Structure 1
């Protein structure tokens, strides 16, 4: 006989980790339901929000079980999502027992991200590329690359301060703007605005905005609204940070650069 509580616990835990690492709401719901159904638990309900999971199984039997999880929003980790999707398929195909799957789940939960040097290089190249793409010169791209590398270093150390996402985005955009103006004040023939545009790209909430649209398309209006508000708040914080520095430069007589 299937242990309903054991299967439900595993399914919700897998869904929890998926959701924490940026998976879409419909993907989490499908994964939890697929695991339950693969163990012949068809009397079940799963409701997933962008920051919570509600699940129940076998409600009309003596094996009834239900779970609720609060899932805070975390940075995305696509490698974990891919690994968990593969694990879900293995469990559904009965190629792996629940006990073995729990061990793999614990392993995937601790799957490390990219190393800091790789993140610094990737962020720098991305910022430089966007600065050039938005009309900057080759020199603008080089400066934006340097700014992007410094931004990644700043974000790495700032993460250890446990600040809120709002504070992080404001501080990050301030750092970018200060660096852009610092290079501009050296007299180099650069466009500070293109450098700022390229530099803020790592902070821009592209994935949350895309996921919110996908949630709306899948009729998950509440989750879509939550992600959309998160994306808009992030964009607002970036604008505030950049606006603060530009305003200070104007007040200090740097109008020639604006």
Structure 2
């Protein structure tokens, strides 16, 4: 009897470890709250615990396997957008539900996702940011003469924003500085190569740092009935957008 209780306790602790790790990876990678809670419920149900409870915000994960066990609480310190991590974690979850993975195998795969699957290198992301700026310049009917300025401003601005966000824990400061640099480069480029539209260049170049995924996730959580998560993400997106606008306005005031 004692051996059975010990084995049951160890199994339940391992289940909680797997569920919490999956939830942490998803939230830190930018997944919406409804996805995270559904994933935790699916894994628990597949492993025989259909009465589990989970509650997720953008900063905290709370999980209860059943009424006779201690709850788990984890504070989310960092948040980013990494669709590869979300996709791979969802794949592990589906394999657990279908019975293709054991608990230990799922734990190993989730640890691999957490430790080995990293984001793209910052220079590559900066290049992609420049291409995003170029795309929005085209969508807004920008002029060919503004292409170099939009690419450089978008790429360098995104690089600065990402670099500062890794060094400074304070929210919204990286976006303010990044948008300030973008507006400064756009104004300088417009002076060197006149003839285009400064407003179109700035709008195009700031698009890589606009919190589009955050807004999309907030709307998804709203439709999913996760009101607290939706409101906090909308507020975060609002303040981030304000920081971007303030950085651009600071430059334009002195022009």
TM-score by length of 1: 0.89
Equivalent of 1:192, from 174, 179, 198? Answer: 198
Residue segments in structure 2 that go unaligned for 5+ positions in a row: 1-6
Equivalent of 2:167, from 154, 161, 164? Answer: 161
| Residue 212 of structure 2 is aligned to residue 206 of structure 1 | yes
The answer to whether the 8 Å contact 1:129/1:141 transfers is no
| CA shift digits 1:4-46 (9 cap, x unpaired) | 2211221111111111111111111111111111111123211
The CA deviation at 1:153 is 3.3
Q: CA RMSD in A?
A: 1.7
Residue segments in structure 1 that go unaligned for 5+ positions in a row: 250-258
| CA shift digits 1:121-166 (9 cap, x unpaired) | 2111110111221231122233201212222332354345325231
Regions of 4+ moved over 3 Å: none
Q: How many residues align?
A: 246
The answer to whether the 8 Å contact 1:4/1:41 transfers is no
Corresponding position of 2:222: 216
| Residue 32 of structure 2 is aligned to residue 24 of structure 1 | yes
Equivalent of 1:140, from 146, 149, 154? Answer: 146
The CA deviation at 1:171 is 0.3
Name the CA distance, whole Å, in 2 between partners of 1:69 and 1:120: 32
The answer to whether the 8 Å contact 1:128/1:143 transfers is no
Name the CA distance, whole Å, in 2 between partners of 1:76 and 1:218: 20
Corresponding position of 1:37: 45
TM-score by length of 2: 0.90
Higher helix share: 2
The answer to whether the 8 Å contact 1:144/1:195 transfers is yes
Mapping of residues 72-91 of structure 1, within 5 Å: 72-91=77-96
